[in-house]
Structure 1
């Protein structure tokens, strides 16, 4: 397993360090849906999704698949598909993965609250592309596209978010 650590705005993997953004709610051990926090936890990288129309697939150690226009992620704790990828249109609260901006051009699906899923413990914790100003995320970890591709190509299989 090749886990990177996240602390103080940096994702560190071996000798490499990259600037990153985390959730607007900071880092929390007691992560809850909608709090904007990044979970204080080691999280395995389950798979990587990418926009094939915007670039080549990233090189990485986990399965890679393209995002489709009708891909979404359920963030409704009351729905049976909570914290799962879904097809749009979808009848409950969800995120669209095919975005107009570049933030989800590469999306690493992190293993948070997925085995098993606990209602309300948070959903859609991703490793994704950061905004230009590295503004806070809704709970995800975000890097520049170049840095995200570099980290993934180093064999990254997870991230450990520390205080």
Structure 2
């Protein structure tokens, strides 16, 4: 029986993201014996994440929860609780607002991300514990594990995977698992 947090995390498993050689916005995501191409921040990775820098934080981030577009995707199976996205669901990215890096509901005037996006990036969106459990202003918000743009175009700081590869991983994702960006 696990008696520490690190033993519990080892039991749950870990997703590891390594920058692809010679490509600052591309990566390889590994889980067990599986390896998938991935997209990361347009400006690569950093240990000093700042709001809007376009970089993916070099960190170990726990998986907290997820969202999905039930109107676009059917038969998505995962032990992770995936909330069906509604039009009113937003994510605050305004560093001076009390709800910074938290879900909020429309109408909401401060800067925010819409979770029901037209481009499909958040059709499956996994919330990572970056600057959430312990929040600091301007350290970056809305750092998610979500779907990619065509051609593995860079993200704004998240980790992106193809729909096919995400569907292969979803049955293994659980709250408390770690996504580790090296």
Q: Conserved in 2, the CA contact under 8 Å of 1:57 and 1:64?
A: no
Which secondary structure does the structure 1 equivalent of 2:150 belong to?
A: coil
Which secondary structure does the structure 2 equivalent of 1:6 belong to?
A: strand
Runs in 1 of length 4+ with deviation above 4 angstroms? none
Q: Of 81, 84, 90, which residue of structure 1 is paired with 2:102?
A: 84
Name stretches of at least 5 consecutive residues in structure 1 with no aligned partner: none
Task: Using the TM superposition, give the Cα deviation of residue 57 of structure 1 relative to its aligned residue in structure 2, in angstroms.
Answer: 5.6
1:124 matched residue in structure 2: 142
1:6 matched residue in structure 2: 17
2:179 matched residue in structure 1: 159
Task: Tell me whether 146-155 or 86-95 shows the greater mean CA deviation.
Answer: 146-155
Looking at structure 2, the residues matched to 41 and 57 of structure 1 have their Cα atoms a distance apart, in angstroms, of 32
Looking at structure 2, the residues matched to 94 and 68 of structure 1 have their Cα atoms a distance apart, in angstroms, of 15
2:51 matched residue in structure 1: 33
Deviations 1:54-101 (A, max 9, x none): 012632232211011111100000000000011012120001111111
Q: Conserved in 2, the CA contact under 8 Å of 1:48 and 1:64?
A: yes
Cα RMSD after superposing both structures: 1.2
Q: Of 113, 124, 129, which residue of structure 2 is paired with 1:106?
A: 124
Shift of the 117–57 alpha-carbon distance from structure 1 to 2, 3 Å rule, reads farther
Which secondary structure does the structure 2 equivalent of 1:20 belong to?
A: strand
The two structures have a TM-score, normalised by structure 2, of: 0.85
Which secondary structure does the structure 1 equivalent of 2:39 belong to?
A: coil
| Alignment length (residue pairs) | 162
Greater length-normalized contact order (CA 8 Å, ≥ 6 residues apart): 1
Q: Does the alignment pair 1:136 with 2:136?
A: no
1:95 matched residue in structure 2: 113
Task: Using the TM superposition, give the Cα deviation of residue 129 of structure 1 relative to its aligned residue in structure 2, in angstroms.
Answer: 0.6
The two structures have a TM-score, normalised by structure 1, of: 0.95
Deviations 1:93-130 (A, max 9, x none): 00111111111100000110011211110000001010
Task: Using the TM superposition, give the Cα deviation of residue 158 of structure 1 relative to its aligned residue in structure 2, in angstroms.
Answer: 2.7
